[in-house]
Amino acid sequence: MASRIGLAGLAVMGQNLALNIAEKGFPISVYNRSPAKVEETVERAKAEGDLPVRGFKDAGEFVRSIQRPRCVIILVKAGAPVDQTIELLAQFMEKGDCVIDGGNEWYENTERRMEAVKAKGLLYLGMGVSGGEEGARHGPSMMPGGALEAYKLIEDVVKKVAAQVEDGPCVTFVGPGGAGNFVKMVHNGIEYGDMELIAEAYDVLKSVGGLSNKELHETFFEWNKGELESFLVEITADIFAVPDDKGGSELVDKVLDKTGMKGTGKWTVQQGAELSVAISTIATSLDLRFLSGLKDERVAASKVFKELGVGDLLKKVKVDKKELIDNVRKALYASKICSYAQGMNLIRAKSIEKGWNLNLGELARIWKGGCIIRAKFLDRIKQAYDRNPKLASLLIDPEFAKEMVERQGSWRKVVSLAIEVGVSTPGMSASLAYFDTYRRGRLPANLVQAQRDYFGSHTYERTDMNGAFHTEWYKIAKKLLGEKAATTGELHVGSKE
């Protein structure tokens, strides 16, 4: 009997997603470039409950083993491997069949491929999948975008395979074109932000508060019972409890402080710049990955500044641990709100640019389970956008605005304390600065505009009348201040260039 669906690419994600699909009752054919992974997957399928998985080492036999219209999920390395896999499989696919790329792909590649396969009569979906190994195996969050007609071909499968939350499966048809990949990309940008903010909370608690790994485990464990309840806080609590199997204390202390990355966070920040959307918390978390990479430089710099006395700043503070833990919890929560607000604004900006008509509330809903950023407060983010789909920013949703105001005192204390003792909290600081900038009706941007007009005749607008204005700042200042300088000798005129 023909399989309901096929999956090509049997590394971490593909292998686990294939077993998940089979376990949900959909017979599946699997294929991988290197045959060893095909055997491995089939063996796992047997061992994990005699699941209906059929392995193929020949691409043609693989495609022909699937019921028509054939749907094939591809889960290989993003970029050229996806093109090569499509080229291989498309030879055997027929009009009406559907290719679904489940990788972390650049959305424009999806749009290009969608057009390319259309010539052969094939349908195409770019479906971001989140949840890592565990999620893929037992229920990920999935973000399919492309042709609705294509989504309808796999809707029954993905709805069963996705993580299930109280208001449905964590999958939805995101939108046309590369919308699914774009949304997954921003999900990953938010993931970077969350991880950086959690790391800063850890640093403050450990470096300033002197918490042991045991205390850190207990703190994060407790936090996970409240407003911060989330997958990343949960796994952080676990990490502090894992001993080093090579001896000594906990393993986390032996992990080199250099963060790796595959690219989706960088794309998110590039898109922020492209669309003129401030995503400073997310951008800061990317910068911190760059700075973490400069391990040798940082070690050398720490010696230079220690000799000059900066390394001793920490010794000067005494903190109340309980109060610090409470303040850091509130600072982390408020910072997270800023980060999610930024990510959502980026998605909306893209949606407007591309005419995708994305539903932010529904996106928050499908992130409630299965994915890496799953968190209790996503339900409230969903509600905020359901209440007002045109909400300019999460920050001004009445519920979130109130929460930020309630936490701003603690937030400021944590950031000030960190600055005082020289422990950097760039993500929390960037979030606080974002909040403080966004909530101010008047910024010093008037001075920047005046400077631009002074040196480049770029013109400026006025607060009290319409139109573009230019002032001969230099000439006026020279005349006015030059005269004064001549008489008092106190004032000086700048130069035009």
Ligand X SMILES: NC(=O)C1=CN([C@@H]2O[C@H](COP(=O)(O)OP(=O)(O)OC[C@H]3O[C@@H](n4cnc5c(N)ncnc54)[C@H](OP(=O)(O)O)[C@@H]3O)[C@@H](O)[C@H]2O)C=CC1
DSSP string covering 119-183: TTT-EEEEEEEESHHHHHHH--EEEEEE-HHHHHHHHHHHHHHS-EETTEESB---BSTTHHHHH
The single residue listed with the structure tokens 């999620």 is: 135
Nearer to ligand X, 360 or 371 (CB): 371
Shortest distance, position 468 Cβ to ligand X, whole Å: 47
Shorter beta-carbon distance to ligand X: residue 18 or 391: 18
Among 10, 89, 216, 233, indicate the residue that binds ligand X (CB under 6 A): 10
Tell whether 349 is in a known binding site.
no
From the list 6, 14, 209, 343, which residue makes contact with ligand X (rule: CB under 6 A)? Answer: 14
Q: Does residue 78 touch ligand X according to CB under 6 A?
A: yes
Beta bridge partners of 101: 74, 126
What value, to the nearest 5°, has the Cα angle with vertex 235 and ends 234 and 241? 105
Minimum gap (Å) between residue 356 Cβ and ligand 5RP: 21
What span, in angstroms and rounded, lies between the C-alpha atoms of 305 and 377?
A: 41
Instruction: Tell me the catalytic residues.
Output: 184, 191
For residues 142 and 187, the answer to whether their CB atoms sit within 8 Å is no
Angle formed at CA 369 by CA 364 and CA 372, multiple of 5 degrees: 90
Q: Is 11 in the site for ligand 5RP (CB under 6 A)?
A: no
For residues 237 to 276, the per-residue mask of contacts with ligand 5RP, x marking binding by CB under 6 A and - elsewhere, is ------------------------xx-xx-----------
Angle at 230 between CA 382 and CA 424, to 5 degrees: 105
Task: Pick the closer one to ligand 5RP by CB: 18 or 183.
Answer: 183
DSSP symbol at 308:
T
Burial class of 474 by CB neighbour count within 10 A (0 to 12, 13 to 18, 19+): middle
Residue 266 found at the interface with ligand X (CB under 6 A): no
Runs of H (alpha helix) within 367-472: 377-387, 398-421, 426-438, 445-456
Instruction: Answer yes or no: is 439 a known binding residue.
Output: no
Which of the choices ligand 5RP, ligand X, none does residue 265 contact, using the CB cut-off of 5 to 8 A by kind? ligand 5RP
- Determine the length of the chain: 497
Residue numbering of the annotated binding site: 9-14, 32-34, 76-78, 104, 130-132, 187-188, 192, 262, 289, 452, 458
Residue numbering of the annotated binding site for substrate: 104, 130-132, 187-188, 192, 262, 289, 452, 458
Residues at the contact surface with ligand 5RP, assessed by CB under 6 A: 104, 130, 132, 188, 191, 261-262, 264-265, 372
Residue numbering of the annotated binding site for NADP(+): 9-14, 32-34, 76-78, 104
Residues at the contact surface with ligand X, assessed by CB under 6 A: 9-14, 32-34, 37, 75-78, 81, 84-85, 103-104, 129-130, 132, 262
